[in-house]
Amino acid sequence: MGSVAPISKAIKTPHLEVEGSCSLTGRIKISGAKNSALVLMAASLLTKDKVRLNNIPSLTDIDVMGEILIRMGIEINRDDNSLFINPKGLRDALLPNELVHSLRASFFCIGPLLARLGKAKIPLPGGCQIGLRPIDEHIKGLRALGAIVEIDENIISATIPSNKKRLQAANIVLDFPSVGATETILMAATLADGTTTIENAAREPEVQDLIEMLVMMGAQIKGSGSSKLTIKGVEKLNGCIHSAIPDRIEAGTFLIAAAITRSQLVVGPVIPAHLEVVLNKLQECGCLIEEIEKNLLRIIPTQIKAVNIKTKPFPGFPTDLQAPFMALMSTANGTSEITETIFENRMQHVYELIKMGASINLNERTAQIQGVEELTGKSLMGGDLRSTAAIVLASLAAKGLSTIEGLNHLDRGYESFETKLNSIGATISRIESHTSQNIVSACELGTHNKVVIKQNAA
């Protein structure tokens, strides 16, 4: 009997099998931004008119958000990458715990619900297990706008006082430029009475995308892209057609995939200004990057050398690319230092990279990475969205086969991740589930490395 499929036999959950030592080539199409799409969907609740959102990726997070809107009485249909939303039937419904817990972005609905219906009730949100992720800044903002906000048994209730018809404008200074809090306050303030200012606002491209949509709906907002936003409240907002920006994090992930496999790739559409620091860091570590057409980047890696990064709010290095970048640094020439300043628990990939042979010393939120010659394929577990992507990238570069569990995380945020990678030369199989019968067949057939196991019926 030939050599037997090595790793996957013990795995019962859906997983990927990734062949290492891979060389990529070709062109990758970047989907619409997940983090934009989620908040744009919530923003559609601010009007009674129909909204069409284009360039919306097909992801489980988007499905959950869609389900949440449906539970609130919204009609929503999908055709390819477009969502057709009819928010006329919005009603004040208590969202089911299980939906809200699986998606932190569900909390974005609180601002629009409050602004349009005068009341909102939402269970405390969930999302990736990457830290405490409190919502105190959201609540502070809504209270400043005159809402009465109470938390009782993990349910947040917000109402406009009975003697007022609308939220009331306020000057709000955020303690930290939180993306979510900026978005919540922005949406609520569009329909408030008077002119609101948000200082120390988040400047992320997804916030700018939201502002563009709100302005198209008739909102009056100044300062997009800066840390001071001024919102003159209007009485009502209209429907609109809006396209989400390209996903800068997905684009960054594929650029890093090219770098870690030392492969040339063309990646687009990507708005270079959304990824400036990441492009600079990739260049600094030895990649040539050129814009061959508008919003189309070619990356040509040479020798990869160690560079340091520290995550920061936009325009700093994005926390969402910290894990993929650490995978790259694991194979770089020299020692790098990576510090996570945004989330307190976003280092779950470190242990998996170490399993693969990476040399990483983690001290609280700072990792010292001594680049190694080679990583080795292993049985791995993704702990959150970006760390799962990071270990897929590391597996592409590693020697041998890796299996990766935790696909529920990956499917939240990367559209057709392995299909896209396979289209540019990777060999990744998705195994939905496994039985001992399958393993016996694989062994008897003497298959090796590239396991061909039929998926069990769902």
Nearest distance, CB of residue 319 and ligand UD1, angstroms:
5
Among 128, 240, 285, 287, the one annotated catalytic: 128
| Distance from C-alpha of 187 to C-alpha of 172, rounded to nearest angstrom | 14
Q: Look at strands 287-293 and 265-268 and give their pairing.
A: unpaired
Of 175 and 293, which CB lies nearer to ligand UD1 in the complex structure?
175
CB of 226 to ligand UD1, least distance (A): 17
Residue nearer to ligand UD1 on the CB measure, 346 or 434: 346
Distance, in Å, from the CA atom of 170 to the CA atom of 152, rounded to the nearest integer, reads 26
CA–CA gap between residue 316 and residue 444 (Å, rounded)? 53
d(CA 318, CA 185): 22
DSSP characters for 424-458? Answer: TT--EEEE----HHHHHHHHHHT--SS---PPPP-
Closest distance of CB 402 from ligand UD1, Å: 25
CA distance 19 to 418: 12
H/E element, 254: helix 248-260
We find the least distance from the C-beta atom of residue 105 to ligand UD1, in angstroms, to be 4
| Number of helical H runs and strand E runs in the chain | 15, 23
Euclidean distance between CA atoms 193 and 360, whole angstroms:
53
C-alpha 328/C-alpha 261 separation (Å) is: 9
- Residue 224 beta carbon to ligand UD1: minimum distance, rounded to whole angstroms: 17
Dihedral sign, Cα of residue 446, residue 449, residue 452, residue 455: positive
Active site residue 285: no
Please give the residue ranges that form the binding site for ligand UD1 (CB under 6 A).
35, 38, 104-105, 131-138, 176, 178-181, 206, 319-320, 342-343
Tokens 């959304």 — which residue?
274
Nearer to ligand UD1 by C-beta: 20 or 180?
Answer: 180
Pick 179 or 360: Cβ nearer ligand UD1: 179
Q: Where are the beta strands (DSSP E) in 30-130?
A: 51-54, 75-79, 82-86, 119-123
Indicate the residue whose CB is closest to ligand UD1.
180
What Cα–Cα distance (Å) separates residue 89 from each residue in 165, 183, 361? 20, 23, 54
Closer residue to ligand UD1, CB minimum distance, 178 or 379: 178
Dump strand ranges (E) for 41-112: 51-54, 75-79, 82-86
Q: Which is nearer to ligand UD1, 365 or 434 (CB)?
A: 365
Pick between residue 342 and residue 350 the one whose CB is nearest to ligand UD1: 342
Residue 437 in tokens: 């019968």
Q: CA 246, CA 202: separation in Å to the nearest integer? A: 19
Known catalytic residues? 128
